[in-house]
Structure formats: C-alpha cells, structure tokens
Amino acid sequence: MQDPHVPFFDRLRRLLPGPLPSDAFSRGTRALERGRLDEAESAFAEALASAARPPEIAAVRNKRAIVAIQRLELERAVDELIAALEADPRSAAAITTTGNLLLEHGAVDEAIVHYEYAIAVDDGYAPAYHNMGVALHRSGRKREAVGMLRKATRLESRMRRP
C-alpha cells in the first residue's frame, strides 16, 4: 500500500521551482509535469526539430501525444503515437501510451497486450508495469495486478536513488 503522503509530495515537487533544464526535451517534460501545456508543446516542437535518432524522435512524439491527450485532442494524439512508433517500433513509452488510450476507452484486453509488449521490449520500464497493474485490476485479476504494481514500485525506487 502506498504511503498516503506520496501524492502530496509529488504535487508539491511539481510546484516548487528548481533549475530550468537546458535541453528542450527536459524543459518540455518539466512543463508537462506542471500542467503548462503551451510551454510543453513549444519545448517539444523545439526538441523534435533537433531530434536525430529514431529513439529520440519516438520519445518526443510520445510526449507530444501526451500533451494532445491532456488537451483532449485524441486524433492528434493518435497521429503522434503512430509517428513515434514509425520512428521506433520498440518505444516502450509510445507502446505504453497507446495502451493507456485503449484502457481509457474501455479496451482493457487490448491495453494489456500493449503493456505486455512494452515490458517485453524494455523490462525496466516502470510505467508499463504500473499501467499493466491497473488494467489487470480492472479485468478482475487482482493478484496479478498487485504483482505488477509492486514491480513498478521497485523499479521506480531504483530510478530515484542517487
């Protein structure tokens, strides 16, 4: 069970000022975390213009899809996800975001397939485990869901360590 204070501190962390990241992708990610969608969109446009390798392009396109989702622009989000996966078909982030869209629209089994694939592609990608846990829970597979959520928590805690 998650400590009830974690969401509070996550929200507080997003509000506190810190040094502004220097690269466009990091600036966009920071703006997105703070709900500053115009700022995020601008930074991701800059990041896309300078992205050279397929994994970089996929990462930026995935973030642009998340901005579109938050703006409730589903068609644009799907277009960005397609572009991300065309650039890098093994982008665990884009595969997971696609699963999230499916899950939000009630296609739980299809979402699970996407999360399984994201985990097969990158078995250290914590969001895929977390979202798989949510999807499994929704499908009534509670024991499996708990296992996935625990795995996500372990992976996330490893990423936070200095």
Residues 29-78 pLDDT 10s? 999 999 999 999 999 999 999 999 999 999 999 999 999 999 999 999 99
Would you state the pLDDT for residue 2?
46
Binning pLDDT at 50, 70 and 90, where does residue 16 land? low
Print burial letters for 118-141: b (CB count within 10 Å at least 16), e (below 16).
bbebeeebbbbbbbbbbbbbeeee
Domain ranges of the chain: 11-89, 92-162
Q: Evaluate whether the domain defined by 11-89 bears CATH number 1.10.10.
A: no
Which CA distances in Å does 130 have to 81, 120, 137, 138, 158? 20, 14, 11, 13, 15
Residue 17 confidence (pLDDT) = 54
Where is average pLDDT lowest: 14-23, 81-90, 127-136?
14-23
Amino acid identity, position 156: E
Distance CA 77, CA 98 (A): 9
CB 100 within 8 A of CB 77: no
What's the fold here for domain 92-162? 1.25.40
**Would you tell me how many other CB atoms lie within 10 Å of the CB of residue 111?**
26
The tens digit of pLDDT for each residue in 109-152 reads: 999 999 999 999 999 999 999 999 999 999 999 999 999 999 99
Same CATH topology for 11-89 and 92-162?
A: yes
Query: What is the reported pLDDT for 1?
Result: 44
Q: What's this model's pTM, rounded to 2 decimal places?
A: 0.83
